[in-house]
Structure 1
Amino acid sequence: MQVVPDPRDVRGRRYGLSSLLAVAVCAVLAGACTFTAVHDWVRDLDRPAWRKLGFADTVPAATTLWRLLIRIDAGVLQQVLTRWLRERSTPLQVTGRRWRLVIAIDGKVLRGARTVDGRQVHLLAAYDTRTGIVLGQVQIETKSKEIPAFTPLLDQVVAQLGSLRGVVIVADALHAQTGHARAVAARGGDFMVAAKANQPRLYAQLKALPWHEIQAGGQQREVGHGRRETRTVKAVTVHTDGGLAFPHAQQAVRITRTRTIKGKTSRETAYYTMSLPASLAQPDDLGAFARNEWLIENALHHVRDVTFREDAHRARTGTGPAVFATLRNTAIGYHRLNGATNIARATRTANRRSTQLIDTVT
């Protein structure tokens, strides 16, 4: 925690920065959803717990915590907490020549939060689909600004991992940008991205391939929650003149999803480019990579909304919205590392075991 810059004036500092940040981390791990809830959590602890957190006979007022958390550098805090989580995770083990670590990148609007000029707060995050840890997060201005934020976010990921070697970056069609593909390749990684009408030439190339002549290379079926879904993957190495209209693309991929819900069947076709050759990424691998791209939405953003009520949090001041999003990322990653599949239940358990939680964090 000592590497997080303290934004407070040196005069009048009554409580240590590490103690205040430990309170914020512990409270959100225990399910706190607002600044007020963070203060309520620490206020309700007994005195031995206060002492473990570094307090004597009093704890900081709600305004003291709030004034700090709206001024902390959210980017630095995310990097520090990410390093703490990664130190707790099991060592990375490569399980075969074709194995890759998949990092999903996606943006999220905090619907209840606003910047000082009234705009909604928009964050772009990189999510380690193996561990459930957010490796980096940057705040951007509008949806269209996700594009220039992509490379700074990659640099945060590289700062955590050391390099992108053995890493596949997956993202939605907004990030089917030639600059993104070159940025990933320059850092030693590979890139799988969906293609839609925002890249008309590439999309036309992919759609025009003779898919009816290409044999399906992989198929997955799932049944649950009243739904049947089949995903069929076709992939081909493209040898057209000049290749695909996308840097470093070695394979064209088509994934067809057929869903049956309450007797009604729908079909959706998605096209992708992949920078790994067929020898290193077979159709089953490609299907898994595309499936992992949805994890950042389902296992991170959805949980922040449903369990931590993020969209209802009307944070409006300073870095407060991004800081609290960072704390939520940390809570989700922490509980995922502990094997939790139900984050709401995990936060309730952590709240009942506050002494153990404080020992872990401090």
Structure 2
Amino acid sequence: MRCTARTRSRQPSPAPGRTTSSPSRTTARSYGLRSRRCRWAQVPEHSTVEKTKGRRARRTIKTVQVPTWISFPVATHVAQLPRTVTVNGKKSVEVVYLTTSTTATPADLAAMVQGHWGIENKLPYVRDVAYNEDASRIRTGNAPRVMATLRTIAIGLHRLAGTTNITTALRHHNRRPDKVITLLTCTNWTLP
């Protein structure tokens, strides 16, 4: 199925093989992706439902071939990804529009989008929680980048050593600094 509408604004094209999301609803609106001309209700969908800790999340993805009026030269598909989350009876709906140059199936594309959040939650979240990085007062020159790199290396060393809870490992090494040398000289890493 193809969407038909006229062009209203232009965005720079993403690199080949990359998936990008619309930065705002106004972008989706300006491309006509939310208009009746796209007829998203008629597009076949792939849905997943996840239930964890009193939270129910339903993710649905619909993909169509990229319309001719979108000027991304390498884009092959446009996708609509509505997420409905219910927590303690309160329902929230968020709709995200994506353009991609991959030829993945809707199920694979949904897994890629959800996998992106796994990356976000794995390193930046741990750096912020374990090291309180957002409250860091180091702000001049290359010092912020150097400190972020050192924190990332420390997290990587702990993960290679088989640690699942970085905060607990940091407390352990804070109380027993001699174990840091053992961590740095370890030769039998267990890869996750």
TM-score range, shorter chain: 0.7 to 0.9
User: Which 5+ residue runs of structure 1 have no aligned equivalent?
Assistant: 1-175
1:244 Cα deviation after fit: 2.6
Does structure 1 residue 230 correspond to structure 2 residue 58? yes
After superposition, the Cα gap between the structure-2 partners of 1:191 and 1:324, relative to the gap in structure 1 and judged at 3 Å, is same
After superposition, the Cα gap between the structure-2 partners of 1:331 and 1:269, relative to the gap in structure 1 and judged at 3 Å, is same
1:270 Cα deviation after fit: 0.6
| Aligned-pair identity (%) | 39
**Mapping of residues 345-356 of structure 1, within 5 Å:** 345-349=168-172, 352=176, 353-356=179-182
After superposition, the Cα gap between the structure-2 partners of 1:326 and 1:199, relative to the gap in structure 1 and judged at 3 Å, is farther
AA at the equivalent of 1:251: H
Measured in 1, the distance between the counterparts of 2:52 and 2:84 equals 14
1:313 Cα deviation after fit: 2.1
Per-residue CA distance 1:138-165 (angstroms, 9 max, x = gap): xxxxxxxxxxxxxxxxxxxxxxxxxxxx
Q: 1:292 aligns with which of 108, 115, 120?
A: 115
Does structure 1 residue 205 correspond to structure 2 residue 26? no
**Once superposed, what is the RMSD of the aligned Cα atoms?**
2.7
1:271 Cα deviation after fit: 0.6
Per-residue CA distance 1:77-129 (angstroms, 9 max, x = gap): xxxxxxxxxxxxxxxxxxxxxxxxxxxxxxxxxxxxxxxxxxxxxxxxxxxxx
The higher-RCO structure (CA 8 Å, 6+ apart) is 1
The size of the alignment, in residue pairs, is 173
Q: More helix per residue: 1 or 2?
A: 1
1:318 Cα deviation after fit: 3.2
Aligned match of 1:38: none
Aligned match of 1:248: 74
After superposition, the Cα gap between the structure-2 partners of 1:202 and 1:260, relative to the gap in structure 1 and judged at 3 Å, is closer
**Mapping of residues 98-109 of structure 1, within 5 Å:** none
CA contact (8 A) 1:258 1:266 kept: yes
User: Which 5+ residue runs of structure 2 have no aligned equivalent?
Assistant: 1-9, 188-192
**Which secondary structure state, in structure 2, belongs to the residue aligned with residue 206 of structure 1?**
coil
AA at the equivalent of 1:330: I
Per-residue CA distance 1:222-271 (angstroms, 9 max, x = gap): 22232111111111223x4x353322110111111111111111111111
TM-score normalised by L of structure 1? 0.43
AA at the equivalent of 2:47: Q
After superposition, the Cα gap between the structure-2 partners of 1:255 and 1:347, relative to the gap in structure 1 and judged at 3 Å, is same
After superposition, the Cα gap between the structure-2 partners of 1:316 and 1:270, relative to the gap in structure 1 and judged at 3 Å, is closer
Does structure 1 residue 178 correspond to structure 2 residue 12? yes
Aligned match of 1:214: 43
Aligned match of 2:127: 304
AA at the equivalent of 2:57: E
Aligned match of 2:4: none
TM-score normalised by L of structure 2? 0.76
- Report which stretch shifted further, 323-332 or 309-318: 309-318
Does structure 1 residue 265 correspond to structure 2 residue 88? no
